[in-house]
């Protein structure tokens, strides 16, 4: 670990924090329907879209209607994307003559992108046409991210409203998230990425002759626009198989830094939106502080582990950091930081291969995802995921003092706690249940490239990434099989909608309640005590749930390395 490394980490945190208030203010104006910076340009477009779709923007929905509209929208998106993937060979903008995607892979990919997971069991440049990348994947990158933001705003309304039967309009919230937030920022980011050297073209792949005289085909395409939304929308799906370690997706140190910032930008700013909409910005800062504590803990452990290298090499008297699987343009600190950011934010983009991290360095990304999209998390999903834990933490606090728990003047009762626990428990069911299944079935055991605890970690990481809607791959797992394509897709669907719908149910329940004035016995939820309680509840729930699985994978791998033990390659 070096001083320069810590300065890079501190600079990153400072830039993200500096964006929280201005971006939070802007998004608050957008979702409350106030006039904002882009209203003169985009408000006529917004009205036109509502007229075209037959939507009355003044008509709000009950939470059931809101959730129903969301589900119908995503079913339609799935069918369209699945059709594009299966008919790819017959569609235009296919200069490399890519064939149709196989049914099971098309199913997995379509589910992946509508759930904002962007798990990729394929190489983008060798599997998908330009039309599929743009009309299919990039389009879903926008709307799946906007859907997450819409759900978060609906839950905020649940806390901020009193005696209300509605939580907003899904169609209006999603339109505004796309039109006012994602699209303008992505236009600016696309131009920046092009200036850094990322291709943005519909031209054919380029043929080059190497110094040895061999022919090489260099894949290009509309890359910059997809990189912009994949980071900003915490999607993570790479145009190229190597993702953000590919020089055409991430060519410079500056592009790498900007990509890391954009991964956190909206998720962090939504905590400020929460504070503003409930009338107390301190509430948003408290939630961001809890996220920050968990994030910094992960960064410290990962950077330390990667900078110190592997125990096995130490046992042989060799010192130095672990550079295996890392892009040398970025080095250890930027790779470790990127790994923690992308798994804390459920983004899934990678600039290093996590399979090559040390055992403890690779464990932190797994833990980040297992906690359930709450350390900043996906755009929108991070906030509503954290608020679900807030409900549980407030309930625990109420039990400790023998008082009906309250949060922001709303009584937290049985219905809210049940919905919160449903949202929390569905994730380990998918992560651990499918991992157990894959480790006992021959079709599952055929996947990992490594034996022993590292092979177990490859399987655990895959299902953790899928259920957490992260999409990053540990590497080393052959996932493009009928078994993995199907089970991973199921994990993605449950991880997205069995958290999102309970969050909307909590929103509807809270919006209907009256606000109770604060009293001398009200637990303050904007200070350090609340932040500590929230972090403690998250760590305890995560530790009790996932420690046994982690002990079988990265922990025992680390201990084995300390003793000099290795395992043969092969599933």
Q: What is the 3-state secondary structure (H, E, C) of 10-37?
A: HHHHHHHHHHHHHHHHHHHHHHCCCCCC
Q: What is the span of the domain harbouring residue 48? A: 22-252
Burial of 146 (C-beta count, 10 Å sphere; 0-12/13-18/19+): buried
User: Which spans in 327-451 are helix H?
Assistant: 331-344, 359-370, 381-401, 414-438, 442-445
Look at residue 425 and tell me if it is in a domain. Answer: no
Position 522 scores a pLDDT of 79
pLDDT tens for each residue of the chain, 571 residues long:
889 899 999 999 999 999 999 999 999 999 999 999 999 999 999 999 999 999 999 999 999 999 999 999 999 999 999 999 999 999 999 988 999 999 999 999 999 999 999 999 888 888 999 999 999 999 999 999 999 999 999 999 999 999 999 999 999 999 999 999 999 999 999 999 999 999 999 988 898 888 888 888 888 899 999 999 999 999 988 888 889 999 999 999 999 999 999 999 999 999 999 999 999 999 999 999 999 999 999 999 999 999 988 877 766 666 678 888 888 889 899 999 999 999 999 898 999 999 999 999 999 999 999 998 799 988 999 999 999 999 999 998 888 877 778 899 999 999 999 999 999 999 999 999 999 999 999 999 999 988 889 999 999 999 999 999 999 888 888 989 999 999 999 999 999 999 999 999 999 999 999 998 877 777 888 999 999 999 999 999 988 899 999 999 999 988 888 777 777 665 4
Nearest to 309, CA basis, from 360, 243, 239: 360
Look at residue 233 and tell me if it is in a domain. Answer: yes
Question: How many other CB atoms are found less than 10 A from the CB of residue 201?
Answer: 13
Position 569 scores a pLDDT of 60
Q: How many domains does the chain have?
A: 1
Position 571 scores a pLDDT of 43
Look at residue 565 and tell me if it is in a domain. Answer: no
- Residue 477 — φ and ψ, nearest 5°? -110, 125
Look at residue 228 and tell me if it is in a domain. Answer: yes
Collapsed DSSP state (helix, strand, coil) of residue 407: strand
Position 319 scores a pLDDT of 67
Instruction: Give the list of residues 6+ apart from residue 35 with CB closer than 8 angstroms, or none.
Output: 29
What whole-number distance in Å separates Cα of residue 202 and Cα of residue 74?
A: 28
Instruction: Give the list of residues 6+ apart from residue 316 with CB closer than 8 angstroms, or none.
Output: none
Look at residue 471 and tell me if it is in a domain. Answer: no
Look at residue 234 and tell me if it is in a domain. Answer: yes
- Report the b/e string of 468-492 with b at 16+ CB within 10 A: bbbbbbbbbbebbbebbbebbbbbb
Q: Would you say the C-alpha torsion 465, 471, 475, 479 has a positive or negative sign?
A: positive
Position 33 scores a pLDDT of 93
Q: Would you say the C-alpha torsion 434, 348, 382, 186 has a positive or negative sign?
A: negative
Look at residue 163 and tell me if it is in a domain. Answer: yes
Look at residue 271 and tell me if it is in a domain. Answer: no
Position 16 scores a pLDDT of 97
Position 210 scores a pLDDT of 86
């Amino acid at each position: 670990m070096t001083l320069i490394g810590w300065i890079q980490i501190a600079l990153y945190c400072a830039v993200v924090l500096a964006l929280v208030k201005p971006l939070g203010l802007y998004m608050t104006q957008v979702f409350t329907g106030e006039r904002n910076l882009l209203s003169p340009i985009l408000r006529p477009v917004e009205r036109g879209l509502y007229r075209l779709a037959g939507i009355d923007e003044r008509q709000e929905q009950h939470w059931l209607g809101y959730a129903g509209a969301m589900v119908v929208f995503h079913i339609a998106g799935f069918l369209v994307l699945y059709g594009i993937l299966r008919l790819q060979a017959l569609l235009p903008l296919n200069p490399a003559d890519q064939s149709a995607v196989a049914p099971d892979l098309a199913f997995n990919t379509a589910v992946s992108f509508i759930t904002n997971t962007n798990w990729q069991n394929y190489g983008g440049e060798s599997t998908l046409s330009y039309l599929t990348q743009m009309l299919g994947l990039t389009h879903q990158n926008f709307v799946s991210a906007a859907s997450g933001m819409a759900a978060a705003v609906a839950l905020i309304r649940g806390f901020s409203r009193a005696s209300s039967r509605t939580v907003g309009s899904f169609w209006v919230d999603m339109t505004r998230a796309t039109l006012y937030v994602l699209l303008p920022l992505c236009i600016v980011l696309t131009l920046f990425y092009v200036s850094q050297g990322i291709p943005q073209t519909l031209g054919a792949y380029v043929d080059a002759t190497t110094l040895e005289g061999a022919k090489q085909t260099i894949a290009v395409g509309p890359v910059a626009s997809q990189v912009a939304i994949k980071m900003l929308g915490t999607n993570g799906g790479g145009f190229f198989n190597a993702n953000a370690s590919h020089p055409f997706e991430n060519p410079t140190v500056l592009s790498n830094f900007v990509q890391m910032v954009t991964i956190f930008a909206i998720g962090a700013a939504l905590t400020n939106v929460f504070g503003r909409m409930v009338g107390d910005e301190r509430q948003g800062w408290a939630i961001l502080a809890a996220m920050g504590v968990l994030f910094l803990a992960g960064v410290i452990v990962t950077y330390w582990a990667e900078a110190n290298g592997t125990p096995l090499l130490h046992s042989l008297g060799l010192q130095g950091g672990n550079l295996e699987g890392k892009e040398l343009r970025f080095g250890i600190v930027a790779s470790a930081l990127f790994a923690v950011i992308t798994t804390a934010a459920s983004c899934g983009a990678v600039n290093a291969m996590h399979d090559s991290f040390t055992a403890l360095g690779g464990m932190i990304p797994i833990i980040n995802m297992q906690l359930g999209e709450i350390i900043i998390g996906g755009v929108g999903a991070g906030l509503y995921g954290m608020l679900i834990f807030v409900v549980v933490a407030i309930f625990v606090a109420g039990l400790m003092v023998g008082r009906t728990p309250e949060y922001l003047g709303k009584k937290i009762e049985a219905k809210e706690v049940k919905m919160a626990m449903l949202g929390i428990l569905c994730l380990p069911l998918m992560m651990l249940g499918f991992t157990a299944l894959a480790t006992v079935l021959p079709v599952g055991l055929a996947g990992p490239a490594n034996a022993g605890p590292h092979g177990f970690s490859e399987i655990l990481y895959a299902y953790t990434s899928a259920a957490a809607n992260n999409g990053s791959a540990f590497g080393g797992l052959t996932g493009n099989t009928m078994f993995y394509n199907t089970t991973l897709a199921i994990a993605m669907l449950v991880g997205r909608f069995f958290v999102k719908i309970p969050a909307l149910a909590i929103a509807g329940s809270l919006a209907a309640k009256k606000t109770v004035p604060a009293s001398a016995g009200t637990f303050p939820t904007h200070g350090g005590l609340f932040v500590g309680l929230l972090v403690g509840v998250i760590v305890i729930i995560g530790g009790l749930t996932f420690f046994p699985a982690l002990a079988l994978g990265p922990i025992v791998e680390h201990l084995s390395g300390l003793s000099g033990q290795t395992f043969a390659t092969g599933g």
